Amino acid sequence: QVQLVESGGGLVQAGGSLRLSCVGSGRGFSSYAMGWFRQTPGKEREFLAGISRSLGRTLYADSVKGRFTISRDNAKNSVYLQMNSLQPEDTAVYYCAADPVGSSRRRPTDYDYWGQGTQVTVSS
């Protein structure tokens, strides 16, 4: 089991950047694939990016490809989401999640463990 805590959210102007962090505690962080999702009220949780557990293979949603970058540092039990060229439509609560299969996948139901979320607000 792994516990996840996100940080780094906040208020940013359109065109700006933020870097989200997610720290995992508990056993075996490096054995999990990790993903970032976001959610706005009344909408389903949206996959943004995933990274495999060992080779660092990445997967991105089309909506963020070229703007967002996922990375991980297993020595620090951490996964990151660098977000550039943010737009008001990127406003959401952002979540990190852990998938025990090990290869990055897109469906929220593939992920067993979730953080509490961090709010990102992009002003126009």
23-68 pLDDT per residue, tens: 999 778 999 999 999 999 999 999 999 999 888 899 999 999 999 9
Q: How many CB atoms lie within 10 A of CB 88?
A: 11
Give the C-alpha separation, 28 to 102, whole Å. 11
Q: Is the pLDDT assigned to residue 1 strictly greater than 90?
A: no
Give the C-alpha separation, 1 to 107, whole Å. 19
Q: For position 113, what pLDDT does the model report?
A: 95
Mean pLDDT over 59-87 rounds to 96
| Three-state secondary-structure class, residue 74 | helix
Q: For position 8, what pLDDT does the model report?
A: 97
